[in-house]
């Protein structure tokens, strides 16, 4: 009988593939807990690389860099789903890796993700798989218009998708995407969007964070409100469905499951095999934040307490705010219940996530009012 693996304790080196803001916040959590961190990312100015003990500036498929990472680290994780699954398989020959390549391969491809969800009994919006222009006729007939045509891979924050109402528009969008495999998604009567961030250990223990209610602008998350303003029965159903997704995937690590609420029913929109933008509220509002939880799951430690300490509204800060003289930090920081998190990115571009702030208040409505006020004043 095999014994349970020993936990990886502070003092060890942890690795992460990807050097963006999620990697940065993981690095801060790991170093706070006493771990060393090695980041693999090709960008010399990566936000995570700035905070790490070692930054390997190399591509994610660089065999030499992967070998160096695997030899130096007791365990390796990822900060984004588009890391090549082959790199995770290669690293697993040298050290502990979570999440595993199989789960990441499903989540990084919308066509695989939608098919997996349907095959495992999870409700989704109507969809059709599009591998060629010829698939669009049947797809539009099945799904109807208007619909969203989304590239199967590498689309995020509203990129790689187009709204189409007619077969002609669908064909034009497919050509614009250079004939890449796509998913055609039908619209639903949307009431709101919610998400559940969770962590699952290799022993199957699952810890779920409170449900977030999410608002988007131009395909990018704008505001998350916690607790979500939905019936408790629906919130509990979302948590149970998210747990079922993680269990059926055999997932180990932190992940997020996004849902549409339509006609009072839940539909799974997407799953992300990593910490999530809608979980940034946990940095200030929960006993354990999602990044400490990522460290705990990766290292085989007991998962932390996910209790909500205060209602909270999280607001993304995009590069647009730098276009006319830069953000007004003094206005934001004049409020003692606002917590600011900036990501150390050197260049501000419209639509680029530069940071976020959390507004905490015992009155959820007051937290949201101040968040919206600061969102415009910043």
Contact criterion met (CB below 8 Å) for 33 and 295:
yes
pLDDT per residue as tens digits for the range 165-176: 888 989 999 999
Which residue's entry shows tokens 């702030």?
A: 357
Please check the confidence at residue 336 and state whether its pLDDT lies above 80. Answer: yes
How does pLDDT run across 124-140, given as a tens digit for each residue?
999 999 998 889 988 89
Structural contact between residues 187 and 171, judged by C-beta atoms closer than 8 angstroms: no
The whole-number pLDDT of residue 260 equals 96
pLDDT of 99 above 80: yes
pLDDT of residue 218: 87
Contact 144, 186 (CB under 8 A): yes
| CA gap 367, 373 in Å, rounded | 10
Cβ contacts of residue 373 below 8 Å, gap of 6+?
Answer: none
**What's the CA gap between 293 and 291, in Å, rounded?**
5
**Alpha carbon distance, N-terminus to C-terminus of the chain:** 59
Cα–Cα distances in Å, from 110 out to 116, 189, 336, 367? 10, 21, 41, 35
Q: Using DSSP, how many helices (H) and how many strands (E) does the chain show? A: 12, 18
The mean per-residue pLDDT over the stretch 103-127 comes to: 93
Tell me how crowded residue 11 is: count the other CB atoms within 10 A of its CB.
9
Residue 12 vs residues 36, 49, 99, 190, 354: alpha-carbon distances, Å: 6, 18, 19, 46, 30
Q: What is the DSSP letter of 308?
A: B
Say what the pLDDT of residue 182 is. 92
Q: Within its chain, how far is the Cα of 339 from the centroid? A: 21
Rounded Cα distance, 278 and 356, in Å: 11
Please state, rounded to an integer, the average pLDDT across all residues of the chain: 94
State the pTM of this model. Answer: 0.94
Tally the C-alpha atoms within 13 A of residue 36's C-alpha that lie toward its C-beta: 11
What are the DSSP calls for 351-374, one per residue?
T-EEEEEEEE-SSHHHHHHHHHHH
């Amino acid at each position: 009988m095999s014994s349970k693996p020993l936990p990886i304790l502070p003092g060890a080196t942890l690795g992460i593939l990807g050097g963006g803001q999620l990697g940065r916040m993981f690095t801060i959590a790991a170093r706070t807990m006493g771990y060393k961190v090695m980041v693999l990312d090709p960008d010399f100015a990566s936000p995570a690389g700035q905070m790490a003990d070692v930054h390997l500036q190399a591509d994610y498929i660089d065999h030499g860099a992967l070998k160096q990472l695997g030899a130096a680290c007791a365990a390796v994780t990822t900060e984004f789903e588009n890391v090549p699954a082959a790199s995770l398989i290669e690293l697993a020959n040298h050290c502990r890796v979570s999440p595993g390549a199989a789960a990441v391969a499903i989540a990084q491809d919308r066509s695989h993700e939608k098919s997996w969800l349907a095959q495992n009994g999870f409700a989704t919006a109507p969809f059709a798989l599009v591998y060629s222009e010829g698939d669009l006729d049947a797809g539009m007939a099945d799904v109807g218009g208007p619909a969203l045509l989304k590239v199967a891979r590498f689309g995020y924050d509203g990129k790689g998708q187009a709204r189409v109402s007619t077969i002609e528009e669908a064909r034009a969008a497919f050509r614009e995407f250079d004939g890449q495999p796509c998913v055609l998604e039908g619209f639903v009567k949307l009431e709101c969007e919610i998400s559940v961030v969770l962590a699952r250990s290799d022993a199957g223990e699952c810890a779920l964070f409170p449900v977030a209610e999410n608002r988007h602008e131009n395909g990018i998350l704008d505001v998350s409100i916690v607790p979500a303003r939905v019936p408790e029965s629906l919130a509990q159903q979302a948590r149970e469905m998210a747990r079922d997704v993680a269990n059926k995937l055999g997932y180990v690590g932190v992940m997020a499951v996004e849902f549409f609420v339509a006609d009072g029913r839940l539909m799974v929109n997407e799953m992300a095999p990593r910490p999530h933008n809608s979980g940034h509220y946990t940095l200030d509002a929960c006993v354990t934040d999602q990044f400490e939880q990522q460290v705990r799951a990766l290292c085989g430690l007991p998962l932390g307490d996910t209790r909500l300490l205060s209602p909270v509204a999280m607001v993304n800060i995009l590069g647009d705010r730098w276009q006319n003289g830069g953000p007004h930090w003094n206005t934001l920081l004049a409020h003692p219940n606002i917590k600011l998190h900036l990501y150390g990115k050197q260049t501000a571009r419209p639509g680029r996530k530069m940071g976020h702030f959390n507004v905490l208040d015992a009155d959820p409505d007051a937290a949201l009012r101040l968040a919206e006020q600061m969102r415009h004043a910043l």
